[in-house]
Amino acid sequence: MRTSSNEDWLARSQAAVWHPCTQMQHHARPGAPAYLPLVPIARGEGAWLHDFDGNRYLDGISSWWTNLFGHANPRINAALREQLDTLEHVMLAGFTHQPVVELSERLSVLTGGALGHAFYASDGASATEIALKMSFHYWRNIGRPEKSEFLCLAGSYHGETVGALAVTDVAIFKDAYAPLVRAAAHVLPSPDFRQAEAGETPADVARRAAAGLENWLQQHGERTAALIVEPLVQGAAGMAMYDPEYLRLARQLCDRYEVHLVCDEIAVGCGRTGTFFAHEQADIRPDLMCLSKGISGGYLPLSIVLCSDTIYAAFLDDSVARAFLHSHSYTGNPLACRAALATLDIFEQDDVIAANRAKAQAIGAALAPLADHPQVKHLRQRGMIAAFDVATDAPYFSRQFYRAALDRGALIRPIGNTVYVMPPYIVSDEEIALLGQTIAAALTASL
């Protein structure tokens, strides 16, 4: 018998699928305070997800920050159909193909040629692993093996594989695996402007945090291989936002103490913060940059590490041991690269960065009334990302809010007590207004 209802798919999924970032018991106990509904999705169209029973949900978080131009986008679909008839996959060791070459060239142009070499994998955590290994191996190749330690910001998140956990400072992801994780340093204070002291501006907070970074590097710079940052917005830290001044000063300090600057643009790249790459707002370039999530339009797993000519050149040698011996079976997959090329085409053809400025204003206007709510704190925005914190001791606030939003037809999944929106770029003004209304109603229902 053909399975066609939410109930059918719920039963089958709960029996067979282990869902990510989830305590599975929370899916199995309707009515419990910690209950998380499992939502079977039949199809997507534009900014909406549709289930098997005819309900629809406005995708207010771009399906975990991946979807840029809507579900079932006709232009990306057409590019993938054409690629399916040409080449679905070939290994990238010893072979190459048109989509991966063109994508690498176009990404280099987007960095002004500063990052001219692209290394491919499938997910964001893998990109973090690659960037850290590249930095570590670079210093060994040039005869400075003492530079082997990594530095990250307090509250940082760079993935959940064992190497990436070393530079992730979110206890719920890291603590259980602490014996497996190579220690890295977390520099304080944070540039998060929610940490402002009386009278401080966001730029003041950034300068104070950079002074802490300078103090660390004065003592440990000779052993530090790289500083990794999420430029401007730290996602898993509750959409912590900071001033570009921190990136400017961090770039200067990394140059002074000969430390690689790694920009993790996995979540904040591809136009999310108002520029194609978030670090552009500080008028700097990193030594290594990680991309994933939106680069394929949210269609297929793809991650990329872009590096400078200097780093690339340090691996060129007759000795295989000096090469970067890291690989993934689906590295540079032609279908994923073609989806990324179609995504870049839409950016160019539709002048998306400029169009997003108007959408960002609409998002700000939709959430502005919440600023007067007595339990709403730190209403903030950077481009197409807006967030606020909720002052509550309710132990299950995030789940109650999530359920309340779903009941009202929107996918909005708080991070702890932080409610945020990060919609696809094709969202309309009417849909943005609906997100604002839904958030206000869900807030009332969950407090």
pLDDT of residue 354: 97
CA atoms within 13 A on the CB side of 1: 5
CA atoms within 13 A on the CB side of 331: 19
CB 335 within 8 A of CB 298: no
pLDDT at 53 over 80: yes
CA atoms within 13 A on the CB side of 277: 25
CB 259 within 8 A of CB 222: no
CA atoms within 13 A on the CB side of 162: 6
- The pLDDT confidence band at residue 23, using thresholds 50, 70 and 90, is confident
Q: Where are the domains of the chain?
A: 77-349, 351-447
28 against 205, higher pLDDT: 205
pLDDT of residue 246: 98
Summarised one tens digit per residue, pLDDT across range 198-227 is: 999 999 999 999 999 999 999 999 999 999
Do the strands 56-59 and 288-291 form a parallel or antiparallel pair, or are they unpaired? Answer: unpaired
Which residue(s) pair with 116 in the sheet? Answer: none
- Cα 289 from Cα 276, distance rounded (Å): 13
Q: Name the superfamily (CATH) of residues 351-447.
A: Aspartate Aminotransferase, domain 1 (3.90.1150.10)
pLDDT of residue 51: 96
- The pLDDT confidence band at residue 32, using thresholds 50, 70 and 90, is confident
- The pLDDT confidence band at residue 21, using thresholds 50, 70 and 90, is confident
Summarised one tens digit per residue, pLDDT across range 237-265 is: 999 999 999 999 999 999 999 999 999 99
pLDDT at 2 over 80: no
pLDDT at 33 over 90: no
Answer whether 77-349 and 351-447 agree in fold: no
Mean pLDDT on 138-161: 96
Residue 24, both tokens: 């599975």
pLDDT of residue 22: 86
pLDDT of residue 26: 86
Percent of the chain having pLDDT more than 70?
A: 99
pLDDT of residue 188: 87
Mean pLDDT on 86-101: 97
pLDDT of residue 28: 82
Mean pLDDT on 268-272: 98
CA atoms within 13 A on the CB side of 272: 34
Mean pLDDT score of the chain: 96
Summarised one tens digit per residue, pLDDT across range 3-16 is: 689 999 988 998 89
* DSSP track, 256-305: HTT-EEEEE-TTTTTTTTSSSSGGGGGT---SEEEE-GGGGTTSS--EEE
Residue 177, both tokens: 């695996």
Residue 106, both tokens: 């176009």
* DSSP track, 338-351: HHHHHHHHHHHHTT
pLDDT of residue 3: 64
Q: What is the pTM of this model?
A: 0.96
Residue 394: DSSP 8-state: -
Residue 85, both tokens: 């008839």
Is 3.40.640.10 the CATH classification of the domain at 77-349? yes
Residue 94: DSSP 8-state: S
Q: Which of 412, 363, 366, 410 is nearest to 383 (CA)?
A: 363
| Dihedral sign of CA atoms 409, 415, 421, 424 in order | negative
pLDDT at 1 over 50: no
